[in-house]
Amino acid sequence: MSKTLEERLASISKRLGEGMEKSTTQSLEAIGEVKKRLALIDAAQKTIAELGGQVVSLQEVLSNKQARGAFGEIQLNDLVSAILPPSAYAFQVTLGTGSRADCLIKLPNPPGPIAIDAKFPLESYHALRNAQDDEARTRAGRAFRTAIATHISDIASKYIVPGETAESALMFLPSEAVYAELHANFPAVVDESFRAHVFIVSPTTLWATLNTVRAVFKDVRMREQAGVIQIQVLAMLKDVTRLDERVAKLQRHHEQTGEDLRQIRISTDKVTRKAEKIEEIQIADETGEPGKAIEPGPAGPRLVKDGE
């Protein structure tokens, strides 16, 4: 019995030792995974802190009107330069009226160059979004509407120049949220922009517009190349006409040469026949047969028979 108890105790001790060792190993592995996750969380917290600082910096930039305008201009420049060839646009162009457009798309006539001006009414938009009651929302909406209408009027008067630009211009809003708010809740302002020929675009809609403009430029270049090809074809037709005239002249020369050769053959045939006749006369004299004699006369030599 003692031996049996000892064996059972030894077996139980062994199983307990193995279980504790396995549990310890699993615990150490779990602690290692926790350490790794804590390290990732620390890195994520640092990244979040950096992003928070950048967001604060962006808010500080957007809170300044000049910096906010520069932000819109940079976004406009990036979009235009990424889609259009360098010869199709120019930045900060001074028009004949003295106004300076943020960007001028050099479309051919018609419609002519189109001016783009970047506007960012962020303060009135934030006031509208942060309004707590109906009165504050109405007041903020009126301010937002007034800001957009003022921008539309300024662009229409400064950047639509008869004889120099197209009959329309673009107002670039560098915020999809502002653009969506405008079209969703202020349709009268959008209609006013249409009547003033000032079309409001966001980054997305400007991207689509610029791609359409690029297609127009491509079509213009194809038309120019087609004109060059047409000019070359007309020049080639003139060359072919001159070549045909020269071939006709050469053909006439060949025909005349053939006629001359034919006349020469006729003359040589006559000379040959006369020589043969002369040879026949000589042969007749040598054989003693009656022949012909040649006597001079007033009309020239003539052949006479014997006895005449």
Q: Which pLDDT score, from 0 to 100, does residue 58 have?
A: 44
Residue 240, CB-side half-sphere exposure with 13 Å CA sphere: 6
> Would you say the pTM of this structure is higher than 0.85?
no
State whether residue 296 is helix, strand or coil.
coil
Residue 172: which region, alpha, beta or left (left: phi > 0; alpha: psi -120 to 50)? beta
CA distances to 80, 149, 237 from 209, in Å: 10, 22, 42
Q: Quick one: 277 exposed, middle or buried, by C-beta within 10 A (0-12, 13-18, 19+)? A: exposed
Distance, C-alpha 289 to centroid of its chain: 104
What's the N-to-C CA distance of the chain in angstroms? 187
Q: For residues 132 and 54, give the distance between their C-alpha atoms in angstroms, rounded to a whole number.
A: 28
Greater pLDDT, 85 or 63:
85
Express each pLDDT in 262-306 by its tens digit.
888 888 888 888 887 877 775 555 555 554 444 444 444 454 444
| Per-residue DSSP letter, 112 | -
Written as one string, the DSSP assignment of 9-48 is HHHHHHHHHHHHHHHHHHHHHHHHHHHHHHHHHHHHHHHH
Q: Please give the backbone phi and psi of residue 307, each rounded to the nearest 5 degrees, phi first.
A: 95, -10
Highest mean pLDDT among 118-122, 160-164, 223-227: 160-164
Closest CA to 101 of 117, 113, 89, 85: 117
Express each pLDDT in 88-122 by its tens digit.
889 988 888 888 888 999 888 878 899 999 887 77
Angle made by CA atoms 35, 38, 44, in degrees to the nearest 5: 145
Q: Which residue has the tokens 């199709």?
A: 88
Residue 16, CB-side half-sphere exposure with 13 Å CA sphere: 6
Per DSSP (E only), the strands in the chain are 89-94, 100-105, 114-118, 169-172, 198-201, 292-295, 302-305
Express each pLDDT in 168-203 by its tens digit.
999 998 888 888 888 888 889 999 999 999 999 999
Q: For residues 175 and 128, give the distance between their C-alpha atoms in angstroms, rounded to a whole number.
A: 15
Q: Which pLDDT score, from 0 to 100, does residue 171 have?
A: 92
